[in-house]
Copies of this chain bind each other. A is one copy, B any other.
Amino acid sequence: MIDTIGFDGDDTLWHNESLFSMTQDRFRTLLGHAADPETLNRRLLDVERANLRFYGYGIKGFVLSMIETAIDVTDGRVSGHDIATLVAFGKTMLAHPVELLDGVEAALDALAGRHRLLLITKGDLFDQESKVARSGLAERFAAVEIVSEKDAATYRRILDRHGVDPRRFLMVGNSVRSDVLPVLEAGGHAVHVPYHVTWAHEEAKPPADGYRRIDTLRALPALLEEFRP
């Protein structure tokens, strides 16, 4: 029996990676004179990964990594105008409307009566708070937890704070790496809802079993029925 359900935010409740992906398309177009698309993708990912320890996750770090990559691939000859364009890309992302995924509200409504719902989202505090507010979903959750990393210790701390037995906790999210593996490690249940794009850094091999996978949040209420005694 599940009494508490945790939901990831980015790419589970609202679109996110598609916005990064679209921005990265524009980045490749802007720097197309300096390197081919594959090189730009690889160099950017390398820079992003190397910068995680400085910046953590989020749009501001992404913009700084695009700027750094632009300088690298042009041997420092990138123009101030192009850098300003990258800064503007970031502001466009930060101000972008929060677009809910299909079926999110109906699924939350269907589950709210029987379960306590938590929003557990990773990333930049300011940006995530802004997205939660703009999503219009905040009132549907008993609590919103914004964390810098999702590992088993993070989930244990959150469950402990809310007095939740891991065996009665189910996490729902699009990332095997962040929403499935660490939850299983912490003794909870997990449902994977893949998004159509995954940031290369979030890619992880799913476990052989021990979790469920659905194509859309619309399927979640029916799946919860299976957990009932």
Contact = CB atoms under 8 A, between A and B. Distances in A.
B68 A87 contact: yes
Specify the main secondary structure of chain A where it touches its partner: helix
A149 to B, nearest CB: 9
A151 to B, nearest CB: 13
A187 interface: no
Interface residues of A, number: 36
Given A124-B126, A125-B124, A148-B125, A81 B87 contact: no
A85 to B, nearest CB: 10
The complex is assembled from copies of this chain, and their number is 2
Interface string A43-70: 0000000000011111011011001101
Contacts of A112: none
Interface of A: 54-58, 60-61, 63-64, 67-68, 70-71, 74-81, 83-84, 87, 90-91, 94-95, 124-127, 129, 146-148
Given A80-B83, A124-B126, 16 more contacts: A54-B90, A54-B94, A56-B125, A58-B60, A58-B126, A60-B61, A64-B90, A67-B87, A68-B84, A68-B87, A70-B80, A76-B80, A77-B80, A124-B124, A126-B148, A129-B148
